[in-house]
Structure 1
Amino acid sequence: MHDHKLFTITLGYYTTINYFQCTIEMPPSVQDVFRPPVECGMCRDVTHVERVHTITSTQFEDRYAYSGRPVVVTDGQKNWTAPHTFSFAFFKSIYSDDSPVLENFERDCQFFPYQTEFRNLRQVFNMSEERANMHGDPWYIGWSNCDSTAANILRGHYERPYFLPQSAESSKTDWIFIGTPGYGAHMHIDHVGNPSWQAQIRGRKLWTLEPPPECYFQCLPLEVVVEPGEIIVLDTNIWYHKTLIVSKDLSITIGSEYD
């Protein structure tokens, strides 16, 4: 993405110079090169992804929230209606062809096609009913929701995870990932600035985590399957990660960052 800004400089009384300042967004591979090194203490004694439940916000903050240690909270979706509501058809009704929500999305939000041919969310929700019901080619996509109308609808079916620190503020942006069995996200690292949580609404997803290169000889790679109703909390800025849908059902995940 290029952002051009015109500047004017006047030298003396007569000479005026116009020039453009051009900002170029670095691709992820280049961003990885300039990634600040990680203190390997965050993973040195981690041999597996712990699973916890009925954890207090104080306990979560002391052990997991900002330590870089990944964790799965097995009762993280207490009192949520999302597992009974979220589906391909539900999201299609929000992002319908003539919806202002879809127009706002295409203007302001991010779309992740992964290994599919889809170029935008409009194409996703115009796929055939057969393919949407997992009878055609497999697919996996994601997007950031930055539209307030859609956010209000979505958050009517889930709430801030009960275990987050009381002082933590959640991002205004939701991240949604949907896909069919056998697909997922490639190994990568994020550049979002804060730790995040991802709630497995439907389906089962295998997460493979690898420490950053500077910690390869001190830390172990990890794997964990996140089940429906569970939430994985992970600092995706320091753990390289990939996902694979291992259930026979459509996988739906929603998440956000917290500071």
Structure 2
Amino acid sequence: MHQIYIMCINLLNAFQHYFYSSKPIIVKNAINYWRATKEFSFELFKRLYQHTDGSYDSLEDGCQFLNFKTDLFTLKEVFDMPEARARYEPGQDPWYVGWGNCHPDILAKVRQYYDIPNFLPEDAEFPATENIFFGYEIGAVMHLDYISRLMWQGQVKGSKIWSVAPVPECDHICNKFQFHVQAGDVVLLDTRIWYHATTIPNREFSLTVQSEYG
């Protein structure tokens, strides 16, 4: 049976033993110092994309947009939503999307609000861009990620329930489990070998930054 390791951010010396572990880890209150936890919002990203020339071109040129189970198929459609639905007011349909934040001008501006979690190894390799996920209620369906490195995800706003399951080869000794991540926490998960799904509780708005390291 696998455990989730929950660690305080001040135990950095101990954490070095888990840098490259495939075990699911939650680092509590790890990014409370980020400006993003106070200033990121749907409206901030909407302004950035609507007021930056060529903002949607990077998504058309290969940067990934994920609509999950939402009836919105481009980031432009997301930011053109009526305000009532964007805020998930009563009677409105929930929505949840993610995308690769690849436009260089927007990426530079967004990175002024956060940095790579400071407990990760200094010699790790990191990709040039990060991913943003936000929305309400429905989250991601159970899946594996086809990525080249381990994954970290910072819970900037709201909370999220993760459901994690082993690959079939491990079914005889591994168990499915869930964990609840709150604003300020970071999840480390090898999403290449752990099936994972997410839901967002209590009609909260969830916003996360996700990247890779290795």
Please classify the TM superposition score into its range, dividing by the shorter chain length: over 0.9
Matched position secondary structure for 2:147? coil
- In the alignment, which residue of structure 2 is the partner of 1:178? 134
Looking at structure 1, the residues matched to 35 and 51 of structure 2 have their Cα atoms a distance apart, in angstroms, of 26
In 1: Cα distance, 2:107 partner to 2:51 partner: 18
Per the alignment, residue 249 of structure 1 pairs with 204
Q: Is the 8 A contact 2:100 2:131 kept in 1?
A: yes
Q: Which residue of 2 aligns with 1:100?
A: 54
Query: Which residue among 126, 150, 161 is the counterpart of 2:106?
Result: 150
Percent of aligned positions with the same letter in both sequences? Answer: 37
Alignment match, 2:86: 132
Question: Residue 204 of structure 1 contacts residue 247 of structure 1 at CA under 8 Å; is this kept in 2?
Answer: no
1:192 aligns with 2:118: no
SS in 1 for 2:141: coil
Displacement after TM superposition at 1:153 (Å):
1.2
2:20 corresponding residue in structure 1: 66
In structure 1, distance between residues paired with 2:14 and 2:162: 24
Deviations 1:98-137 (A, max 9, x none): 6322223322311001111111111110000110011121
CA RMSD of aligned residues (A): 1.5
**CA shift at 1:166, angstroms?**
1.9
Contact kept? 1:49, 1:222, Cα under 8 Å:
no
Kindly name which structure, 1 or 2, has the bigger radius of gyration based on alpha carbons: 1
- Aligned residue for 1:118, secondary structure, equals coil
Distance 1:81 1:168 in 2: 24
| Structure 1 position 83 matched with structure 2 position 83 | no
Aligned to 1:113: 67
Asked whether the equivalents of residues 49 and 223 of structure 1 are also in contact (C-alpha less than 8 Å), the reply is: no
- Bigger RCO (CA 8 Å, 6+ sep): 2
| Deviation at residue 154 of structure 1 after TM alignment | 1.3
| SS of structure 2 residue aligned to 1:101 | coil
Contact persistence 1:209–1:241 (CA under 8 A): yes
Within a 5 Å distance, the mapping from 1:11-26 to structure 2 comes to none
8 Å contact kept, 2:4–2:24: yes
Task: Measure, in 2, the Cα distance between the counterparts of 1:149 and 1:247.
Answer: 34
Count residues with an aligned counterpart. 211
Q: Which amino acid aligns with 2:153?
A: Q
Which segments of 5 or more consecutive residues in structure 1 lack a partner in the other structure?
Answer: 1-44
